[in-house]
Amino acid sequence: MKIFSTKLPSFITNVDDKLYRGRAISCPYRLYSLKKNGINQVIDLRNSFSFTKYMEKFFCKILGIKYINCKYKHRLKKIPNEEFFLNIKNLILMNKSKTYLHCQKGKRRTGFLAAYYEKNVMHLPDKDILNNLINLGYNDIKVGSKAKNKYFNILSEFIDKYLPETKNT
């Protein structure tokens, strides 16, 4: 009899054979499914105090999943320096198995790190990276919500620095 599902939750996106991305997970059943799918490292980008953050860390320890908190400011007004991006990329590449990368909602902070990884490890075309970035985290900019102005500047800064080929598209 099967007690736990080993199927990954629908909010988790496979980036490549080493990286998965999504939102925060504090449910032990979902963390168990990560473990059963070969994910042995979780990189949490949350900066704020959260009870769920400590639950996730606790359950990762019980399940034998390495938990790393790389604090990335939630209400940032500019992208982090490249050293921060390089550090995350190296943590992913040094892991012999799969890594799960997330922030609270798995959209913006996670999106920038995944886009950097797609650019510098997977060598995807800038246009494909931008599509992934917008569709998985910045789609409210396309819709034209109040968030458009809030996120437009930081997204533009990331594009100018890391995806210059898309500036005229």
Is residue 98 a part of any domain in this protein?
yes
Say how far apart CA 73 and CA 125 lie, in whole Å: 28
With contact defined as beta carbons under 8 Å apart, do 40 and 66 qualify? yes
Identify the residue with better confidence: 31 or 140: 31
Is residue 6 a part of any domain in this protein?
no
Amino acid at 132: N
Which tens digits make up the pLDDT trace of 38-79?
A: 999 999 999 877 788 899 999 999 999 999 999 887 666 788
Q: Are strands 98-102 and 13-14 parallel, antiparallel or unpaired?
A: unpaired
Q: What are phi and psi of 73, to 5 degrees?
A: -50, 130
Is residue 35 a part of any domain in this protein?
yes
Is residue 74 a part of any domain in this protein?
yes
> Which of 6-20, 57-71, 82-96, 137-151 is predicted with the least confidence, judged by mean pLDDT?
137-151
Q: Does residue 146 register a pLDDT over 80?
A: no
Percent of the chain with pLDDT over 70: 88
With contact defined as beta carbons under 8 Å apart, do 126 and 133 qualify? no
Is residue 7 a part of any domain in this protein?
no
Give residues with Cβ within 8 angstroms of 62, minimum separation 6. Answer: 28
CA angle 115, 116, 118 (to 5 degrees): 60
**The pLDDT value given to residue 60:** 96
**The pLDDT value given to residue 103:** 92
Is residue 1 a part of any domain in this protein?
no
> What's the mean pLDDT in 23-37?
92
**The pLDDT value given to residue 23:** 94
Under DSSP, the state recorded for 47 is: -
CATH number for the domain that contains residue 79: 3.90.190.10
Mean of all residue pLDDT scores within the chain: 88
Q: Does residue 9 register a pLDDT over 90?
A: no
Provide the domain limits for residue 39.
Answer: 13-164
Give residues with Cβ within 8 angstroms of 60, minimum separation 6. Answer: 31, 42, 66, 67
With contact defined as beta carbons under 8 Å apart, do 92 and 99 qualify? yes
Percent of the chain with pLDDT over 90: 61
Is residue 95 a part of any domain in this protein?
yes
For the chain, what is the domain count? 1
Is residue 53 a part of any domain in this protein?
yes
**The pLDDT value given to residue 31:** 94
Which tens digits make up the pLDDT trace of 97-111?
A: 999 999 998 888 999
Beta bridge partners of 44: 69, 102
